[in-house]
Structure 1
Amino acid sequence: MKTLQIIKQDQDKIISLVEHETTHTKYIQKELNYYDKTLYQILQKIKSPYLPKIFVIQENDNHLTLIEEYINGKTLDQQILSKEDVRNIMHQLCECLDTLHKLNPPIIHRDIKPENIIYHDNKVTLLDFGIARFLDSKKSKDTLILGSVGYAAPEQFGFQQSNPQTDIYALGKLMNYLLNGSLEHQNNIPFDLKQVILKATQLDYKNRYNSVKEMDLAIQGKAVIIPPFNHETLKSKLVSLAWILFIFILVVDMEPGDTIKNSFINKLSCFVFIYFGLFLYYNKNLFHKYLPKIPWPILYSIIFFLFLCLDVWFFMWMDSLI
């Protein structure tokens, strides 16, 4: 191999662009002093369009040499992106991380940031697994404090162990940065994506999305929550179940009304109306996505009123048929 350029060099690693002297094919060569050989062996076996192929893994004198696929393209910090580009990038990253998080044990990347992601021809490639690690269920916190400031989750600073929600936190911060150039401010970010970012970057990892798959569905606006069946957390399911039980107790002793004479139809009408308020609350991102300029409390009231009219009309019609 002929070295063409040293891309990065520090006490932990040397990353170089090299070329095969016969075929003139370019590769990335990494010489690592801090590494987990098993992790790279697992990565080598993964067939993912979002990860560079690893061709050679060689260990000598307490350092590891990798020969990886060379991806020609710019990293995210070198590009100006549209909102649709950002959605596409986040979708691909979620698919990539979903593959890693579903391994046994899961692999946590722990260093998701613009400099570690190439976006070329509408395709994402996730780079640099230098501080990635396997999830260890026996440990309560990380032994080393590693990660990039701004993107690293609180648990990476020694409070708890890194887990799949650690990468979700970094994805939220990354999306915030890609949408407006800031890690903190949320100016000009669409309401639905703002809500995704807020949930993904909760300080307590238990309050973030349960998986990157759930986060991806929220980003793409495809997640319709039907309480209490498909909430992302057990807490939300229990709250919904408690609220539905309360509605049931409330309507079970209702007397027939003046508008709807049939007792059962009247109770069912009230139950559906109150249940819709719960459904609307959990699906506010979905509704607000199409009318982002209307403040959510006002939009909620309008939708609720329209549904009330529809509910009364439908069940009055049902009542007239009986």
Structure 2
Amino acid sequence: MKQGKISDYVNPIPIKITDDKAIFKVEKLVPTPYIERVLPLEYAPLYEQLAQLDTAIPKIVCLEKSDRLTVVEEYITSPRLDQYLENHQLTSTEIHDLICQLLDVLEVLHKQTPLIIHRDIKPENIFYDGQKLILADFDIARNTQEEADRDTHILGSLGYAAPEQFGFSQSGPASDFYAVGVLMNVLYTGSLPSVNLYQGPERAIIEKATHINSQKRYQSAQEFKDAITDLGRSSWRLPGFRSHQPARMLMATCGYLLMLFSSFNMEAKGNSAVDRFLLRLSFFMILFMIVLFACNYRNIKDTCLFHSSKSKFVRFCGIIISYLLVATVLTTALAALSVAISSFGL
């Protein structure tokens, strides 16, 4: 039988004490896991900075310097983002929230003196439990140096690392935003932008964040977050008008006019002009809803049945069933309205 030690049990609370015996309630002392990193001494200024920050990064418990730097930081129990994505399909709203949480962390890092650039943002270095995000692994992070024209060490994860991290120039805040843009695309498509660029409303944000020229990317976390917020406001615009591109807006206008013309010039049988009008309106709304579902207007697919499924086929079936349900409710409501109007002799 394995024997424990008396010192493993703490916080005694008396239950019963007599002349010859005493009974206490005690609690077992459970060891708390931590992460220990042994790094070159050149990392000391960076980790001394990180230890002072109050943001969503692992809290540093202690630092010790000798011939090497030893860092002890909290152990994060949440799953890594790549692990979380194995069993969860994030909605557009959840992706926006996750990205904004990440940008909040970067805003704190980039406001330090000197600036802290993470340089390795990817799902494996992010912990996420469905609500809260924690950015970890600063092993290739660096401080910017005003006199430097390029990074001393060429480091970064292929696909997520900005071009300047491979020796073209010094990495800066825009380098982290490049990785955030790549991550955003991966969350939507499961692929890097170079493989499969997301075609939804967030495409313009992703393209700007991952521009090859760092000066043409977002220059601050707030600017990046503002773009996401503005996207939410512009999402009320009808499909075809969200891009502000004249050609697309013209095509959308023609498409909507064609649907109206086809719907209200179709032959409709009814007992009255009102019945015929409502029948034509019903046909137009059915066509219009096809456009809304196909273009994911206001992220409507996030509310469809089975939208959280990992299977694309199941999600597609959920969209079709949801569309049919909405179309049925709409046509039934218009039919009921027609009956109500008829009952009043209109």
Q: TM-score, normalised by structure 1?
A: 0.63
Aligned CA distance change for structure 1 residues 198 and 289 (closer, same or farther; 3 Å): farther
1:195-210 pair list within 5 angstroms:
195-210=204-219
Measured after TM superposition, the shift of residue 288 of structure 1 is 5.8
* Distance (whole Å) between structure 2 residues aligned to residue 288 and residue 86 of structure 1: 15
Aligned CA distance change for structure 1 residues 183 and 128 (closer, same or farther; 3 Å): same
Matched, 1:69 2:70: no
Does the residue aligned with 1:125 lie in a helix, a strand or coil? strand
1:1-322 pair list within 5 angstroms:
23-33=30-40, 35-48=42-55, 50-61=56-67, 63-78=68-83, 79=85, 80=88, 81-184=90-193, 185-186=195-196, 189-191=199-201, 193-221=202-230, 287=234, 290-292=237-239, 296-297=245-246, 300-301=249-250
Q: Tell me, which stretches of 5 or more residues in structure 2 are unaligned?
A: 1-27, 254-346
- Given that 1:30 and 1:67 are in contact with CA atoms closer than 8 Å, whether structure 2 keeps it comes out as yes
Measured after TM superposition, the shift of residue 290 of structure 1 is 3.5
* Distance (whole Å) between structure 1 residues aligned to residue 138 and residue 31 of structure 2: 26
* Distance (whole Å) between structure 2 residues aligned to residue 107 and residue 117 of structure 1: 17
- Given that 1:180 and 1:189 are in contact with CA atoms closer than 8 Å, whether structure 2 keeps it comes out as no
Measured after TM superposition, the shift of residue 60 of structure 1 is 2.7
- Given that 2:123 and 2:183 are in contact with CA atoms closer than 8 Å, whether structure 1 keeps it comes out as yes
Does the residue aligned with 2:150 lie in a helix, a strand or coil? coil
Larger radius of gyration: 2
Does the residue aligned with 2:179 lie in a helix, a strand or coil? helix
- Given that 2:174 and 2:217 are in contact with CA atoms closer than 8 Å, whether structure 1 keeps it comes out as yes
* Distance (whole Å) between structure 2 residues aligned to residue 35 and residue 53 of structure 1: 20
Aligned CA distance change for structure 1 residues 105 and 167 (closer, same or farther; 3 Å): same
- Given that 1:190 and 1:292 are in contact with CA atoms closer than 8 Å, whether structure 2 keeps it comes out as no
Which residue identity lines up with residue 62 of structure 2 in the other structure?
Answer: V
Q: Cα RMSD (Å) of the superposition? A: 2.6
* Distance (whole Å) between structure 2 residues aligned to residue 293 and residue 22 of structure 1: 62
- Deviation per CA, 1:164-201: give whole Å up to 9, x if none: 1000101001111111100024465422x110000000
The match for 1:252 is none
Aligned CA distance change for structure 1 residues 220 and 287 (closer, same or farther; 3 Å): closer
Aligned CA distance change for structure 1 residues 83 and 288 (closer, same or farther; 3 Å): closer
- Deviation per CA, 1:191-238: give whole Å up to 9, x if none: 2x110000000001000011111111112326xxxxxxxxxxxxxxxx
* Distance (whole Å) between structure 1 residues aligned to residue 37 and residue 114 of structure 2: 25
* Percentage of identical aligned residues: 41
* Distance (whole Å) between structure 1 residues aligned to residue 185 and residue 236 of structure 2: 17
Does the residue aligned with 1:221 lie in a helix, a strand or coil? helix
Q: TM-score, normalised by structure 2?
A: 0.59
Measured after TM superposition, the shift of residue 82 of structure 1 is 2.2
Q: Which runs of 4+ in 1 moved over 6 A?
A: none
The match for 1:246 is none
Q: Tell me, which stretches of 5 or more residues in structure 1 are unaligned?
A: 1-20, 223-284, 305-322
Does the residue aligned with 2:230 lie in a helix, a strand or coil? coil
Measured after TM superposition, the shift of residue 36 of structure 1 is 1.1
Alignment length, in residue pairs? 220
Measured after TM superposition, the shift of residue 34 of structure 1 is 7.1
* Distance (whole Å) between structure 2 residues aligned to residue 87 and residue 39 of structure 1: 29
